[in-house]
Amino acid sequence: MLRKLTNAFGVSGCETEVRDIIIEEIKDCGADFRIDNMGNLVAFKKAKKENAKTVLLSAHMDEVGFIVTDITEDGYIKFETVGGIDARILISKRVKVNGRCGVIGLKPVHLASKEERKKMPKANELFVDIGAKDRTDAESVASKGDYFGFDSEYIEFGEMIKAKALDDRLGCAIMIEILKKEWDVNLVCTFNVQEEVGLRGAKIAAKGARPDFALVIEGTTCNDLPTVPKNLRVTKSGDGAAISVLDSASKADRDICDMLIKAAEKRNISWQYKASTAGGNDAGAISLLEGGIKTASISVPCRYIHSPVSVMHKSDFESCKELVEGFLEDCGKELTEND
């Protein structure tokens, strides 16, 4: 499932291919679903019992990528980034433009001046080479305003997985598996569009759900690298799902965090705190809806995030899925104990 989802094209605003895969997977799982005007996919699965709590799970379908801004007389494609991409990782990367392979290029080091070698080029100073002989040839493949993305295949090595768009196809994969099971809570799952360009889809997708709790499932930064001091590593690959307390978009609800920790300890599920307040996700939009929704985030640590070679540990993915399932089980049991 994760292989299918990460190999699919889904730059922000172009999530159709990803959404179609998800619909094919959940169409027979007993959930009702709809697509709203923005393109969000919203699925609802009723609880096995009456008067159950309602839990909203949320993940986003989109990935970072590029948009064509110009085509040169020589047939090269100029572009801007869509979402947050560090220009340092772009040089020599493979991309796919409307099905055509391309490479992000730059003048070779042999021909660069000393000043140019010291300077890191900006994204709009780079170009994509699709092997076109001239502008007319290139325009038969792409036009201004077309979106395109990284060309990178899902690969497993050791206990790790490498893929583009782990942020946040991993969250989508977890929600698909959860929708295939029965729960003692009313389950609302929103597969959101355009998270990478301002949490846009989540501002619409969760409206009207009125959940008791909301849980955002994400891929988050992992900086456990040799050159980084341990106190600055944010999360550690292999140490389990990451619970966020505060970031630049939202403050996690303390009650939900405590419930997640209790669920993890009861089941011996590995978990860790996200040790940074940088970044943000759809929790920032969801927590402000309907006069305020109790919201928290649970994430899988991903090295080299927002790149074509994001890397995660298989056990962290499993820990995140198991912890979300444990949280839902406990929410359902709470109802039984109160009856």
Q: What is the pLDDT of residues 244-287, one digit of tens each?
A: 998 888 888 899 999 999 999 999 999 999 988 888 898 899 99
DSSP for residue 71: E
- pLDDT value at 67 more than 80: yes
User: Measured between alpha carbons, how far is 273 from 243 in angstroms, rounded to an integer?
Assistant: 5
* Interval 39-68 mean pLDDT: 94
Least confident of 112-116, 133-137, 244-248, 273-277: 112-116
Q: What fold characterizes domain 2-63+164-338?
A: Aminopeptidase (3.40.630)
Is the domain defined by 65-150 classed in CATH 2.40.30.40?
Answer: yes
* Tokens 């001091």, located at residue: 229
Q: What is the pLDDT of residues 161-218, one digit of tens each?
A: 999 999 999 999 999 999 999 999 999 999 999 999 999 999 999 888 889 999 999 9
Boundaries of every domain in the chain: 2-63+164-338, 65-150
* Among 221, 220, 196, 195, CA closest to 206: 195
User: Measured between alpha carbons, how far is 299 from 320 in angstroms, rounded to an integer?
Assistant: 7
Q: What is the mean pLDDT of the chain?
A: 92
218 has catalytic annotation: no
Least confident of 40-49, 66-75, 101-110, 238-247: 101-110
Do the domains 65-150 and 2-63+164-338 match in fold?
Answer: no
In this prediction, residue 334 has a pLDDT band, given cuts at 50, 70 and 90, of low
Predicted pLDDT of residue 336: 47
Distances (CA, A) of 278 to 248, 253, 260: 6, 17, 21
Q: What is the dihedral of CA 3, 94, 196, 239, to 10 degrees?
A: 50
Query: Which residue is catalytic, options 15, 25, 63, 195?
Result: 195
Question: Which are the contacts of 101, defined by CB distance < 8 A and separation ≥ 6?
Answer: 94, 95, 130, 131, 151
User: Measured between alpha carbons, how far is 57 from 192 in angstroms, rounded to an integer?
Assistant: 11
Q: What is the pTM of this model?
A: 0.93
